[in-house]
């Protein structure tokens, strides 16, 4: 994929003997899904703001922690400080990324200038190539799962649907992810690999450039990506159009990212990849990040994870789940 960055070893971690829910004070809710929610919290002994993901005990939760242990090696991926479990629930202590989602920033900014697109696309590429070099595919890349930190740098987040051991010729199956970002091979139930992530990235780049999706689901037809070709507005440069066309190849074997060197594409001719990977390039000012200063304490997990809502709670112990990053040990 053209990455110059070598694989990095996981940061040493130990099992936390004393970390539990009582170590945190909970504030506002940051997001929720069917089986999990994310709360803003304060790690009281460290006086540190964190994002706490509270979920049911599922194989996806175990996968997410495995990926997060690897993600520590890239500045463009969301990091975890640790994880622990109670009888029924799993808890992941994540860095609090205050800038909000790329989706929210795009809605506010409208379609972006091409130098802004190039910068944020390049940071996403660095994060994604790091995952792929470690045998991990994300499978749910979309603007809602890409965050902006306080300095407006990219952080790819939410590894709950990720798949590891995707090395060599390994492939996987399953209609996993968000339909409008799914690659044709995923939609058709075929075997797929990391090329599916590059398709999703192409959809995101198209949205950044135009504020719309490249494929229109007429009459609720979610398979339009299989039949339609994107329309490229006249204001897009030929370099950007060529990049989008290369990422949105319906044949996964011809798609840029898994074939060719995306870093050498003409659209990125002005990107200094070494400086960018070291976060030495100043982000553009077009994307504004939110500022959250005042927080209201909440009742933490109790309201969401009442016994009525957790009829299928899993009390099994998750092996190799609990850990504490070496930098967080008391």
Hunting for tokens 């990212």 — which residue is that?
257
Q: Does residue 139 lie in a domain region?
A: yes
| Residue 115 pLDDT | 96
Q: If 0-12 CB within 10 Å is exposed, 13-18 middle and 19+ buried, where does residue 242 land?
A: middle
Is 42 in the same domain as 165? Answer: no
* Together in a domain, 72 and 139: no
The torsion region of residue 50 among left (phi > 0), alpha (psi -120 to 50) and beta comes to beta
Residue 7 lies in a domain: no
Tokens of 256: 């840029």
What are the DSSP E strand ranges found in the chain? 13-14, 24-32, 36-43, 48-56, 80-85, 89-95, 146-148, 154-156, 323-325
**Contact (CB, 8 A) for 129 and 276:** no
Question: Do 110 and 235 fall within a single domain?
Answer: yes
- Going through 3-142 in order, the beta strands assigned E by DSSP cover 13-14, 24-32, 36-43, 48-56, 80-85, 89-95
Claim to verify: residue 88 and residue 217 sit in the same structural domain: no
CATH of the domain at 26: 3.30.200.20
Among 204, 224, 23, smallest CA distance to 122 is for 204
Q: Are residues 32 and 162 in the same domain?
A: no
**Which tokens sit at 283?**
């982000």
Is residue 320 annotated as part of the catalytic site, yes or no?
A: no
Per-residue confidence (pLDDT) for residue 218, from 0 to 100: 60
Query: Is 214 exposed, middle or buried (CB count within 10 Å of its CB: 0-12, 13-18, 19+)?
Result: buried
Radius of gyration of the chain (CA): 20
Q: What is the DSSP letter of 136?
A: -
Q: Which of 238, 204, 240 is nearest to 113 (CA)?
A: 240
| 53 among annotated binding-site residues | yes
Whether residue 157 is contained in a domain is answered as yes
Paired with 53 in beta bridges are 38, 92
| pLDDT given for residue 225 in this prediction | 79
pTM: 0.88
Q: Which residue has the tokens 């200038």?
A: 113
Tokens 């074939």: give the residue.
259
255 and 313: one domain? Answer: no
In this prediction, residue 217 carries a pLDDT of: 63
Token pair for 124: 């996403």
- The catalytic residue among 22, 140, 158, 294 is 140
- Give CA–CA dist 149/50, Å, rounded: 13
Residues 25 and 153 in one domain: no
The CA distance from 134 to 6, in Å, is: 9
Per-residue pLDDT of the chain (330 residues; tens, 9 = 90+): 655 455 554 444 444 457 999 999 999 998 887 778 999 999 999 999 999 999 999 999 999 999 999 999 999 999 999 999 999 999 999 999 989 999 999 999 888 999 999 999 999 999 999 999 999 999 999 999 999 999 999 999 999 999 999 999 999 999 999 999 999 999 999 999 999 999 999 999 999 999 999 987 665 556 677 888 999 999 999 999 999 999 999 999 999 999 999 999 999 999 999 999 999 999 987 676 665 544 455 554 444 444 334 445 567 888 889 999 987 876
Q: Give the residue carrying structure tokens 């660095």.
A: 126
Structure confidence at residue 269 (pLDDT): 98
Question: What range does the domain containing 67 cover?
Answer: 13-98+292-325
Are residues 117 and 255 part of one domain? yes
Torsional class of 257: left (φ above 0), alpha (ψ -120 to 50), beta (otherwise): left
Whether residues 188 and 305 share a domain: the answer is: no
Q: What is the DSSP string of 66-113?
A: HHHHHHTT-TTB--EEEEEE-SSEEEEEEE--TT-BHHHHHHHH-SPP
- Same-domain status, 106 and 247: yes
Please give the tally of structural domains in the chain. Answer: 2
Q: Is residue 4 included in any domain, yes or no?
A: no
| Closest residue by Cα to residue 21 from 57, 56, 69, 54 | 54
One domain for residues 164 and 265 = yes
Residue 189 lies in a domain: yes
Q: Are 162 and 130 in contact (CB under 8 A)?
A: no
The answer to whether residue 265 sits within a structural domain is yes
Distance (Å, whole) CA 81 – CA 324: 6
**Statement to judge: residues 123 and 206 lie in one domain:** yes
Predicted pLDDT of residue 7: 54
CATH number at residue 164: 1.10.510.10
In the block, which residue shows the tokens 């490229």? Answer: 232
What pLDDT is attached to residue 310?
45
């Amino acid at each position: 994929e053209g990455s110059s960055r070598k694989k990095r070893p996981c940061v040493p971690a130990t099992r936390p003997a004393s970390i539990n829910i009582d170590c945190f004070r909970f504030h506002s809710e940051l997001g929720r899904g069917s089986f999990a929610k994310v709360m803003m919290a304060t790690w009281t002994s460290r006086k540190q703001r964190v994002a706490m993901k509270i979920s049911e005990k599922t194989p996806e939760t175990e996968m997410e922690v495995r990926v997060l242990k690897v993600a520590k090696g890239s500045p463009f991926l969301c990091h975890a400080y640790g994880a622990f479990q109670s009888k029924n629930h799993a808890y992941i202590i994540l860095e609090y990324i205050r800038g909000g989602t790329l989706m929210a920033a795009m809605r506010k900014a409208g379609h972006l200038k091409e130098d802004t697109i190039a910068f944020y696309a390049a940071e996403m590429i660095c994060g994604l190539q790091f995952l792929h070099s470690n045998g991990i595919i994300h499978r749910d890349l979309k603007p809602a799962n890409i965050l902006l930190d306080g300095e407006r740098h990219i952080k790819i987040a939410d590894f709950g649907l990720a798949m590891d051991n995707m090395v060599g010729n390994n492939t996987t199956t399953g209609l996993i992810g968000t339909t409008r970002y799914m690659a044709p091979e995923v939609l058709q139930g075929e075997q797929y690999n990391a090329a599916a992530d590059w398709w999703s990235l192409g959809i995101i780049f198209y949205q950044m450039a135009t504020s719309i999706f490249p494929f229109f689901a007429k009459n609720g037809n979610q398979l339009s990506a299989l039949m339609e070709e994107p329309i490229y507005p006249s204001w897009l440069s030929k370099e950007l159009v060529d990049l989008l066309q290369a990422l949105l190849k319906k044949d996964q074997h011809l798609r840029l990212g898994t074939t060719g060197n995306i870093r050498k594409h003409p659209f990125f001719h002005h990107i200094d990849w070494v400086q960018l990977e070291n976060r030495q390039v100043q982000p553009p000012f077009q994307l504004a990040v939110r500022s959250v200063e005042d927080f209201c304490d909440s009742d933490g997990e109790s309201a969401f994870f009442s016994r009525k809502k957790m009829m299928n709670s899993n009390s099994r112990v998750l092996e190799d789940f609990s850990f504490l990053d070496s930098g967080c040990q008391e």
